[in-house]
DNA sequence: CCCAAACATAACGTTAACGTAATGTTTATT
DNA sequence: AATAAACATTACGTTAACGTTATGTTTGGG
């Protein structure tokens, strides 16, 4: 494990573009890649995992802002009672929102189902003469 | 029921801005409000319902493009076997995507739960001396 | 040491979904 | 008829999350 992954590989392995990596780094969503003076940036295995986690959360519809609120949970523990209590509040809020979203989606799902069945019924009627 | 609702009321009752109504009308997401020559636009009861439905679908993360693919289902039936079969395909695709999203959200939910419990546990340990 | 491939930086471009003036016209009320 | 409130139209502005040149620098293999 060389653990000195360059941006080309890190982005390829995470399924994003180099531009995305730089962008995330610029907004502090991923830790800055180390470098020697003026040279290139070197990332680690953890960066890859972190990037994958980010894309996964994005698929849930979380914005990068929202992601930056929780992403650290997956990699580091906030220290101190203070921080943990604060994070806990955020988590509970997300849990609530997530539950609501799941409900909404299930509602939507059953509407879809109803429409689909209606159409199938209609087409079946047309089918056999 | 006057059924000649002006943009101010229609937007207020649907919980959106007049700008949004005009925008949706401009992209054909809602039917154009009738008008006498050069006058104002008059909308109907159905416009209100339609707008509410749109905002509801938006909360599910559907884009306006995606919404325009399915919105008509709620108000008119596509006529002809041809059209119905096509719409049915779209619906099935959405059903699949919706199921995947629900799964992803439930996954996310359980991750949240796990984190929350871990934090609560930690804080409880700190609690009683 | 040389050179192509990969990288760095800066800056302008892009899409979605409206927001926000600015200005002129309708409509309803007095 | 006057006037204020609501409406219409045009056009420029905004945010998020990058894409896309353009140009110059680093790096690794021969």
Tell me if A70 is assigned to some domain: no
Spatial separation of the C-alpha atoms in residues B83 and B18, rounded to whole Å: 33
The shortest CB-CB distance from B119 to any of A87, A99, A112 is to: A87
Judged by CB atoms closer than 8 Å, whether chains meet at A94 and B106 is answered as no
Share of chain A above pLDDT 70, in %: 98
Spatial separation of the C-alpha atoms in residues A79 and A45, rounded to whole Å: 24
Tell me if A15 is assigned to some domain: yes
Contact A95, B112 (CB under 8 A): yes
Do A49 and A87 have their domain in common?
A: no
pLDDT for A120 equals: 94
Residue A58: partners with Cβ closer than 8 Å, 6 or more residues away: A64, A67
Q: Does B90 touch chain A (CB under 8 A)?
A: no
Do A5 and A52 have their domain in common?
A: yes
Restricting to A residues 5-24, those with a Cβ less than 8 Å away from any Cβ of B are none
Residue B14 lies in domain:
1-76
Chain B residues touching residue A117 (CB < 8 angstroms): none
Do B44 and B86 have their domain in common?
A: no
Question: Residue B98, CB, less than 7 Å from strand C?
Answer: no
Tell me if A71 is assigned to some domain: no
Residue B119: partners with Cβ closer than 8 Å, 6 or more residues away: A84, A87, A88, A91
Tell me if A72 is assigned to some domain: no
Spatial separation of the C-alpha atoms in residues A100 and A108, rounded to whole Å: 12
Summarised one tens digit per residue, pLDDT across range A58-112 is 998 899 999 998 999 899 888 889 888 988 999 999 999 999 999 999 999 999 9
Question: Residue B40, CB, less than 7 Å from strand C?
Answer: yes
Domain boundary among B76, B93, B118: B76
| B36-44 own/partner pairs: CB under 8 Å, 24+ apart | B40/B6, B40/B7, B41/B6, B41/B7, B42/B4, B42/B5, B42/B6, B43/B5, B43/B6, B43/B7, B43/B10, B44/B3, B44/B4, B44/B5
The shortest CB-CB distance from B116 to any of A61, A91, A112 is to: A91
Spatial separation of the C-alpha atoms in residues A114 and A40, rounded to whole Å: 56
Question: Residue A32, CB, less than 7 Å from strand C?
Answer: no
Share of chain B above pLDDT 90, in %: 76
Do B6 and B58 have their domain in common?
A: yes
CATH at B72:
1.10.1660.10
Which chain B residues in 45-84 sit with Cβ < 7 A of strand D? none
- For the residues B48-76, what does the mean pLDDT come to? 93
Q: How far is CA B63 from CA A61, B53, B99, in A?
A: 12, 13, 18
Which one, of B45, B69, B46, lies nearest residue B57 by Cα? B69
Do A6 and A53 have their domain in common?
A: yes
Total structural domains within chain B: 2
Do B7 and B42 have their domain in common?
A: yes
Contact A77, B63 (CB under 8 A): no
Do B69 and B88 have their domain in common?
A: no
Helix (H, G, I), strand (E, B) or coil at B5: strand
Do B15 and B67 have their domain in common?
A: yes
Q: How far is CA B57 from CA A16, A49, A109, B38, B60, in A?
A: 29, 32, 11, 33, 5
Do B64 and B84 have their domain in common?
A: no
Do A90 and A52 have their domain in common?
A: no
| Mean per-residue pLDDT of chain B | 92
Q: Does residue B2 register a pLDDT over 70? A: no
Spatial separation of the C-alpha atoms in residues A22 and A32, rounded to whole Å: 9
Do B30 and B65 have their domain in common?
A: yes
The shortest CB-CB distance from A73 to any of B60, B98, B115 is to: B115
Do B65 and B4 have their domain in common?
A: yes
Domain boundary among B76, B100, B121: B76
Chain B residues touching residue A119 (CB < 8 angstroms): 84, 87-88, 91
Tell me if A95 is assigned to some domain: yes
- For the residues B32-36, what does the mean pLDDT come to? 90
Q: Does residue A2 register a pLDDT over 90? A: no
Which one, of A87, A36, A116, A85, lies nearest residue B88 by Cα? A116
């Amino acid at each position: 494990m060389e653990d000195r992954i360059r941006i080309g590989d890190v982005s390829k392995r995470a399924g994003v573009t180099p531009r995305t990596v730089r962008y995330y780094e610029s907004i502090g969503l991923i830790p800055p890649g180390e470098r020697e003076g003026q040279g290139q940036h070197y990332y680690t295995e953890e960066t890859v995992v972190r990037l994958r986690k980010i894309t996964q959360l994005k698929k849930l519809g979380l914005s990068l802002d929202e992601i930056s609120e929780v992403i650290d949970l997956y990699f580091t523990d906030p220290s101190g009672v203070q921080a943990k209590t604060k994070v806990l509040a955020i988590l509970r809020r997300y849990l609530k929102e997530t539950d609501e979203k799941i409900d909404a989606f299930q509602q939507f799902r059953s509407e879809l189902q109803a429409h689909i069945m209606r159409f199938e019924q209609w087409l079946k009627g047309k089918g056999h003469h």
